[in-house]
Amino acid sequence: MADMLFGLHSGVRYLVLAAWLVAMVGALSSLRHGGSGKAGRVTMLIFIGLLDLQFLIGLVLLLNWDFHPQLFGHVLTMLIAVFAAHGFVLAQRRATPARPRRALPVVGLLITLLLIVAGIASIGRPIL
């Protein structure tokens, strides 16, 4: 079972990275056109949904796998990435005219990607 979960966890990362790319294109398009279009919101939600799924698979895998100390940095970094992604979406929803929100998705996606890359690198796995 653990081997199947590991394969699933390793494979879903490509979906997460592809969804990140699509969400970034949507966020940049919304930023360029001066608003937050529906397509940008939908692609961001798909990315976050896949990121949440990946994290859940990772937690189940962690419960079925031998824990190694190097995994601590991976789990912690990925948890921060999930919180960052959700946090930027919440910040965008709560934005007011006094606090612009147009650049929040782009910044949030960049920070989340950096955390994901750091988390993958912390266990010595290739990004792609």
- The pLDDT tens digits of the residues spanning 15-68 come to 999 999 999 998 888 878 766 567 778 999 999 999 999 999 999 999 988 888
- Say what the pLDDT of residue 1 is: 81
Please name the residue that has the structure tokens 């965008």: 92
With vertex at residue 101, the alpha carbon angle to CA 86 and CA 79, rounded to the nearest 5 degrees, is 15
H helix runs in 2-37, sequence order = 2-32
DSSP letter, residue 96: B
Compare 37 and 1 and report the one with higher pLDDT. 1
Q: What is the pLDDT of residues 65-118, one digit of tens each?
A: 888 888 999 999 999 999 999 998 888 777 666 555 777 888 999 999 999 999
| Alpha carbon distance 89, 80 (integer Å) | 14
- Residue 36: CB atoms within 10 Å: 20
